[in-house]
Protein backbone atom coordinates (compact mmCIF):
# COMPACT_ATOMS: atom_id res chain seq x y z
CA UNK A 1 0.00 0.00 0.00
CA UNK A 2 1.44 3.28 -1.09
CA UNK A 3 0.61 6.50 0.70
CA UNK A 4 0.41 5.15 4.21
CA UNK A 5 3.31 2.78 3.93
CA UNK A 6 5.56 1.97 6.82
CA UNK A 7 2.72 0.45 8.73
CA UNK A 8 2.61 -2.65 6.58
CA UNK A 9 5.01 -4.60 8.71
CA UNK A 10 3.16 -3.79 11.91
CA UNK A 11 -0.17 -4.55 10.30
CA UNK A 12 0.94 -7.89 9.02
CA UNK A 13 2.27 -8.76 12.43
CA UNK A 14 -1.04 -7.87 14.04
CA UNK A 15 -2.96 -9.86 11.47
CA UNK A 16 -0.79 -12.86 12.20
CA UNK A 17 -1.29 -12.45 15.92
CA UNK A 18 -5.03 -12.34 15.39
CA UNK A 19 -4.89 -15.37 13.16
CA UNK A 20 -3.00 -17.23 15.89
CA UNK A 21 -5.94 -16.55 18.14
CA UNK A 22 -4.67 -13.69 20.26
CA UNK A 23 -7.88 -11.82 20.91
CA UNK A 24 -8.29 -8.19 20.06
CA UNK A 25 -8.90 -6.04 23.12
CA UNK A 26 -12.47 -5.26 23.95
CA UNK A 27 -13.73 -1.77 23.22
CA UNK A 28 -15.40 0.48 25.71
CA UNK A 29 -19.09 0.22 24.83
CA UNK A 30 -21.62 2.95 25.49
CA UNK A 31 -23.45 0.73 27.98
CA UNK A 32 -20.29 0.28 30.01
CA UNK A 33 -19.77 4.01 30.10
CA UNK A 34 -23.32 4.42 31.29
CA UNK A 35 -22.85 1.80 33.99
CA UNK A 36 -19.79 3.65 35.25
CA UNK A 37 -21.78 6.87 35.51
CA UNK A 38 -24.63 5.06 37.26
CA UNK A 39 -22.25 3.58 39.83
CA UNK A 40 -21.18 7.09 40.76
CA UNK A 41 -24.76 8.23 41.39
CA UNK A 42 -25.27 7.77 45.13
CA UNK A 43 -29.07 8.15 45.23
CA UNK A 44 -29.47 5.60 42.47
CA UNK A 45 -27.07 3.15 44.12
CA UNK A 46 -28.89 3.39 47.49
CA UNK A 47 -32.20 2.91 45.66
CA UNK A 48 -30.90 -0.14 43.85
CA UNK A 49 -29.75 -1.56 47.17
CA UNK A 50 -33.17 -0.92 48.78
CA UNK A 51 -35.02 -2.40 45.84
CA UNK A 52 -32.82 -5.48 45.65
CA UNK A 53 -33.25 -5.94 49.41
CA UNK A 54 -37.04 -5.75 49.11
CA UNK A 55 -37.10 -8.20 46.22
CA UNK A 56 -34.78 -10.69 47.92
CA UNK A 57 -36.66 -10.54 51.22
CA UNK A 58 -40.02 -10.90 49.46
CA UNK A 59 -38.91 -14.05 47.69
CA UNK A 60 -36.60 -15.66 50.23
CA UNK A 61 -38.02 -14.81 53.65
CA UNK A 62 -41.38 -16.70 53.32
CA UNK A 63 -39.43 -19.96 53.62
CA UNK A 64 -38.37 -19.01 57.15
CA UNK A 65 -41.62 -17.54 58.41
CA UNK A 66 -43.21 -19.09 61.52
CA UNK A 67 -46.68 -18.44 60.10
CA UNK A 68 -48.09 -19.19 56.67
CA UNK A 69 -50.08 -16.44 54.88
CA UNK A 70 -53.25 -18.53 54.87
CA UNK A 71 -52.81 -19.95 58.34
CA UNK A 72 -55.30 -18.71 60.95
CA UNK A 73 -54.05 -18.25 64.51
CA UNK A 74 -57.21 -18.95 66.51
CA UNK A 75 -55.66 -17.46 69.62
CA UNK A 76 -54.77 -14.11 68.08
CA UNK A 77 -57.36 -12.17 66.12
CA UNK A 78 -56.70 -8.48 65.60
CA UNK A 79 -53.48 -8.76 67.53
CA UNK A 80 -51.14 -5.77 67.42
CA UNK A 81 -47.46 -6.52 66.73
CA UNK A 82 -46.32 -9.01 69.33
CA UNK A 83 -42.93 -10.73 69.35
CA UNK A 84 -43.99 -13.37 71.92
CA UNK A 85 -46.55 -14.95 69.59
CA UNK A 86 -44.17 -14.45 66.64
CA UNK A 87 -46.67 -12.08 64.98
CA UNK A 88 -44.05 -9.38 64.42
CA UNK A 89 -46.45 -7.14 62.51
CA UNK A 90 -49.62 -8.30 64.20
CA UNK A 91 -52.60 -10.14 62.70
CA UNK A 92 -55.69 -9.13 60.80
CA UNK A 93 -59.37 -9.64 61.56
CA UNK A 94 -59.10 -13.28 60.50
CA UNK A 95 -56.09 -14.06 62.62
CA UNK A 96 -53.66 -14.26 59.70
CA UNK A 97 -50.08 -13.12 60.26
CA UNK A 98 -49.56 -9.75 58.57
CA UNK A 99 -45.84 -10.18 57.96
CA UNK A 100 -46.45 -13.38 56.00
CA UNK A 101 -49.19 -11.73 54.02
CA UNK A 102 -47.10 -8.63 53.40
CA UNK A 103 -44.29 -10.74 51.95
CA UNK A 104 -46.71 -12.56 49.71
CA UNK A 105 -48.38 -9.34 48.63
CA UNK A 106 -45.02 -7.75 47.79
CA UNK A 107 -44.11 -10.82 45.75
CA UNK A 108 -47.35 -10.56 43.83
CA UNK A 109 -46.91 -6.85 43.13
CA UNK A 110 -43.36 -7.38 41.90
CA UNK A 111 -44.38 -10.22 39.61
CA UNK A 112 -47.24 -8.21 38.14
CA UNK A 113 -44.96 -5.23 37.64
CA UNK A 114 -42.19 -7.20 35.94
CA UNK A 115 -44.42 -9.23 33.68
CA UNK A 116 -46.60 -6.30 32.67
CA UNK A 117 -43.57 -4.08 32.06
CA UNK A 118 -41.90 -6.75 29.98
CA UNK A 119 -45.04 -7.26 27.91
CA UNK A 120 -45.62 -3.55 27.39
CA UNK A 121 -41.98 -2.78 26.57
CA UNK A 122 -41.70 -5.62 24.06
CA UNK A 123 -44.91 -4.78 22.26
CA UNK A 124 -44.26 -1.06 22.48
CA UNK A 125 -40.75 -1.22 21.03
CA UNK A 126 -41.64 -3.42 18.09
CA UNK A 127 -44.86 -1.58 17.32
CA UNK A 128 -43.34 1.88 17.65
CA UNK A 129 -40.16 1.05 15.74
CA UNK A 130 -42.06 -0.51 12.85
CA UNK A 131 -44.55 2.37 12.66
CA UNK A 132 -41.79 4.96 12.84
CA UNK A 133 -39.47 3.29 10.36
CA UNK A 134 -42.11 2.45 7.78
CA UNK A 135 -43.67 5.89 7.98
CA UNK A 136 -46.38 7.09 5.64
CA UNK A 137 -49.65 5.22 5.56
CA UNK A 138 -48.49 2.28 7.68
CA UNK A 139 -47.45 4.72 10.39
CA UNK A 140 -50.71 6.65 10.18
CA UNK A 141 -52.87 3.54 10.52
CA UNK A 142 -50.79 2.05 13.33
CA UNK A 143 -50.74 5.24 15.34
CA UNK A 144 -54.47 5.93 14.88
CA UNK A 145 -55.06 2.51 16.41
CA UNK A 146 -52.94 3.58 19.38
CA UNK A 147 -55.01 6.76 19.66
CA UNK A 148 -58.18 4.68 19.69
CA UNK A 149 -56.84 2.47 22.46
CA UNK A 150 -55.88 5.56 24.40
CA UNK A 151 -59.40 6.90 24.13
CA UNK A 152 -60.79 3.73 25.67
CA UNK A 153 -60.96 4.07 29.47
CA UNK A 154 -58.73 1.28 30.69
CA UNK A 155 -60.84 0.62 33.78
CA UNK A 156 -63.69 -0.24 31.43
CA UNK A 157 -61.31 -2.46 29.48
CA UNK A 158 -60.22 -4.32 32.59
CA UNK A 159 -63.79 -4.63 33.87
CA UNK A 160 -64.89 -6.13 30.55
CA UNK A 161 -61.99 -8.60 30.63
CA UNK A 162 -62.79 -9.59 34.20
CA UNK A 163 -66.49 -9.96 33.50
CA UNK A 164 -65.87 -12.16 30.48
CA UNK A 165 -63.00 -14.30 31.75
CA UNK A 166 -63.39 -14.20 35.50
CA UNK A 167 -60.84 -12.91 37.99
CA UNK A 168 -57.46 -14.37 37.13
CA UNK A 169 -54.07 -12.77 37.77
CA UNK A 170 -53.14 -13.38 34.13
CA UNK A 171 -55.91 -10.98 33.08
CA UNK A 172 -54.30 -8.36 35.24
CA UNK A 173 -51.08 -8.74 33.29
CA UNK A 174 -52.89 -8.56 29.98
CA UNK A 175 -55.06 -5.65 31.02
CA UNK A 176 -52.24 -3.54 32.38
CA UNK A 177 -49.78 -4.52 29.65
CA UNK A 178 -52.32 -3.67 26.97
CA UNK A 179 -52.61 -0.16 28.34
CA UNK A 180 -48.99 0.55 29.16
CA UNK A 181 -47.52 -0.36 25.76
CA UNK A 182 -49.36 2.52 24.13
CA UNK A 183 -47.14 5.18 25.69
CA UNK A 184 -44.06 3.05 25.02
CA UNK A 185 -45.04 2.76 21.35
CA UNK A 186 -45.42 6.52 21.05
CA UNK A 187 -42.08 7.22 22.68
CA UNK A 188 -40.32 4.65 20.52
CA UNK A 189 -41.97 5.90 17.36
CA UNK A 190 -40.83 9.44 18.06
CA UNK A 191 -37.26 8.29 18.67
CA UNK A 192 -37.34 6.12 15.56
CA UNK A 193 -38.46 9.03 13.43
CA UNK A 194 -35.35 10.96 14.40
CA UNK A 195 -33.05 7.91 14.31
CA UNK A 196 -34.04 6.86 10.82
CA UNK A 197 -32.80 10.17 9.45
CA UNK A 198 -29.35 9.52 10.92
CA UNK A 199 -26.61 8.81 8.46
CA UNK A 200 -25.80 5.41 9.89
CA UNK A 201 -29.30 4.20 9.03
CA UNK A 202 -28.89 5.58 5.54
CA UNK A 203 -25.51 3.89 5.36
CA UNK A 204 -27.16 0.60 6.34
CA UNK A 205 -29.76 1.06 3.64
CA UNK A 206 -27.03 1.80 1.12
CA UNK A 207 -25.24 -1.35 2.27
CA UNK A 208 -28.25 -3.42 1.33
CA UNK A 209 -29.42 -4.25 4.84
CA UNK A 210 -33.06 -5.41 4.91
CA UNK A 211 -35.64 -3.16 6.62
CA UNK A 212 -36.34 -5.64 9.42
CA UNK A 213 -32.61 -5.99 10.09
CA UNK A 214 -32.24 -2.22 10.14
CA UNK A 215 -34.99 -1.97 12.74
CA UNK A 216 -33.60 -4.76 14.91
CA UNK A 217 -29.87 -4.13 14.55
CA UNK A 218 -29.61 -0.40 14.00
CA UNK A 219 -32.65 1.26 15.47
CA UNK A 220 -33.71 -0.81 18.48
CA UNK A 221 -30.23 -0.88 20.14
CA UNK A 222 -30.10 2.90 19.90
CA UNK A 223 -33.40 3.15 21.74
CA UNK A 224 -31.90 1.70 24.92
CA UNK A 225 -31.76 5.04 26.72
CA UNK A 226 -35.39 6.15 26.49
CA UNK A 227 -36.68 2.59 26.75
CA UNK A 228 -34.79 1.70 29.92
CA UNK A 229 -35.75 4.98 31.52
CA UNK A 230 -39.37 4.67 30.56
CA UNK A 231 -39.47 1.04 31.70
CA UNK A 232 -38.17 1.90 35.18
CA UNK A 233 -40.78 4.62 35.42
CA UNK A 234 -43.46 2.22 34.16
CA UNK A 235 -42.89 -0.29 36.96
CA UNK A 236 -44.14 2.04 39.73
CA UNK A 237 -47.04 3.05 37.54
CA UNK A 238 -48.02 -0.58 37.12
CA UNK A 239 -47.70 -1.26 40.84
CA UNK A 240 -50.02 1.66 41.48
CA UNK A 241 -52.44 0.54 38.79
CA UNK A 242 -52.48 -2.96 40.22
CA UNK A 243 -53.05 -1.55 43.70
CA UNK A 244 -55.86 0.57 42.36
CA UNK A 245 -57.53 -2.31 40.55
CA UNK A 246 -57.15 -4.52 43.62
CA UNK A 247 -58.59 -1.73 45.73
CA UNK A 248 -61.63 -1.71 43.45
CA UNK A 249 -61.83 -5.48 43.83
CA UNK A 250 -60.82 -6.16 40.24
CA UNK A 251 -57.31 -7.34 40.97
CA UNK A 252 -55.94 -10.31 42.82
CA UNK A 253 -58.33 -12.51 44.75
CA UNK A 254 -58.27 -13.75 48.33
CA UNK A 255 -56.50 -15.71 49.68
CA UNK A 256 -53.91 -14.29 47.26
CA UNK A 257 -53.00 -10.77 48.16
CA UNK A 258 -51.02 -7.84 46.86
CA UNK A 259 -49.76 -4.58 48.26
CA UNK A 260 -52.81 -2.80 46.92
CA UNK A 261 -55.21 -5.28 48.48
CA UNK A 262 -53.45 -5.06 51.82
CA UNK A 263 -53.56 -1.27 51.76
CA UNK A 264 -57.20 -1.22 50.78
CA UNK A 265 -58.06 -3.65 53.62
CA UNK A 266 -55.95 -1.71 56.09
CA UNK A 267 -57.34 1.68 55.10
CA UNK A 268 -60.82 0.71 56.25
CA UNK A 269 -59.75 -0.10 59.78
CA UNK A 270 -56.89 2.36 60.08
CA UNK A 271 -58.30 4.01 63.21
CA UNK A 272 -58.59 0.83 65.23
CA UNK A 273 -55.82 -1.32 63.70
CA UNK A 274 -53.17 0.99 62.21
CA UNK A 275 -50.67 -1.89 62.03
CA UNK A 276 -52.61 -3.30 59.09
CA UNK A 277 -52.06 -0.21 56.94
CA UNK A 278 -48.64 1.15 57.83
CA UNK A 279 -46.32 -1.75 56.82
CA UNK A 280 -47.71 -2.35 53.30
CA UNK A 281 -47.87 1.40 52.71
CA UNK A 282 -44.24 1.79 53.78
CA UNK A 283 -43.10 -1.04 51.49
CA UNK A 284 -45.03 0.41 48.56
CA UNK A 285 -43.67 3.92 49.07
CA UNK A 286 -40.12 2.60 49.47
CA UNK A 287 -40.37 0.64 46.24
CA UNK A 288 -41.86 3.53 44.30
CA UNK A 289 -39.25 5.98 45.55
CA UNK A 290 -36.42 3.57 44.82
CA UNK A 291 -37.67 2.94 41.29
CA UNK A 292 -38.08 6.63 40.61
CA UNK A 293 -34.53 7.37 41.74
CA UNK A 294 -33.20 4.48 39.70
CA UNK A 295 -35.07 5.82 36.68
CA UNK A 296 -33.57 9.25 37.24
CA UNK A 297 -30.11 7.80 37.69
CA UNK A 298 -30.42 5.75 34.52
CA UNK A 299 -31.58 8.78 32.60
CA UNK A 300 -28.56 10.74 33.70
CA UNK A 301 -26.23 7.81 33.09
CA UNK A 302 -27.51 6.92 29.63
CA UNK A 303 -28.02 10.42 28.38
CA UNK A 304 -25.30 12.62 29.85
CA UNK A 305 -26.02 15.30 27.26
CA UNK A 306 -29.49 15.94 28.69
CA UNK A 307 -28.35 17.21 32.03
Cα separation, 123 vs 120, whole angstroms = 5
**Minimum distance between the CB of residue 27 and another protein, rounded to whole angstroms?**
3
Interface pick for another protein out of 18, 39, 56, 160 (rule CB under 8 A): 18
**Minimum distance between the CB of residue 26 and another protein, rounded to whole angstroms?**
5
Interface pick for another protein out of 9, 21, 170, 199 (rule CB under 8 A): 199
**Minimum distance between the CB of residue 181 and another protein, rounded to whole angstroms?**
23
| Phi and psi based region of residue 245 (left: phi greater than 0; alpha: psi -120 to 50; beta: remaining) | alpha
Q: How far apart are the first and last CA of the chain?
A: 46
**Minimum distance between the CB of residue 201 and another protein, rounded to whole angstroms?**
8
3-state secondary structure of 117: helix
Other Cβ atoms less than 10 A from the Cβ of 303: the count is 14
When computed from its CA atoms, the radius of gyration of the chain, rounded to whole angstroms, is: 26
Give 47-60 as a DSSP string.
HHHHHHHHHHHHHH
Query: In 241-261, which positions are buried (b, 16+ CB within 10 angstroms) versus exposed (e)?
Result: bbbebbbeebbbeeebbbbbb
Regarding 15 and contact with another protein (CB under 8 A), the answer is yes
**Minimum distance between the CB of residue 37 and another protein, rounded to whole angstroms?**
14
Regarding 198 and contact with another protein (CB under 8 A), the answer is yes
Phi, psi of 91 (to 5 degrees): -130, 165
Nearer to another protein, 73 or 303 (CB): 303
Q: Which residues pair with 96 in a beta bridge?
A: 72
Cα separation, 190 vs 210, whole angstroms = 21
**Minimum distance between the CB of residue 36 and another protein, rounded to whole angstroms?**
14
Residues 202-231 that bind another protein (CB under 8 A): 202-211, 213, 217-218, 221-222, 224
Q: Could you tell me how many residues of this chain bind another protein (CB under 8 A)?
A: 38
Going by C-alpha positions, the residue among 180, 175, 150 that lies closest to residue 248 is 175
Regarding 10 and contact with another protein (CB under 8 A), the answer is yes
Region from 18-26, 59-67, 179-187, 255-263 binding another protein, contact rule CB under 8 A: 18-26
Regarding 21 and contact with another protein (CB under 8 A), the answer is no
Interface pick for another protein out of 9, 20, 21, 28 (rule CB under 8 A): 28
Q: Give the residues lining the site for another protein (CB under 8 A).
A: 1-4, 7, 10-12, 14-15, 17-18, 24-30, 198-200, 202-211, 213, 217-218, 221-222, 224
Amino acid sequence: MAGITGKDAILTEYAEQLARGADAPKGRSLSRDALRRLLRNRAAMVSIFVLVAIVVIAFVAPAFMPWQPRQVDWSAFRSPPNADTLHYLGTDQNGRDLLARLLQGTQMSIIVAIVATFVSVTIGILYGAIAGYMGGRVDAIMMRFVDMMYALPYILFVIILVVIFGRKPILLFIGIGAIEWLTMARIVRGQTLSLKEKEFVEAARASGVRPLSIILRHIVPNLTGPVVIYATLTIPEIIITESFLSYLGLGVQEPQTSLGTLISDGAGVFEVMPWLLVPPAVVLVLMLLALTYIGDGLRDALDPKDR
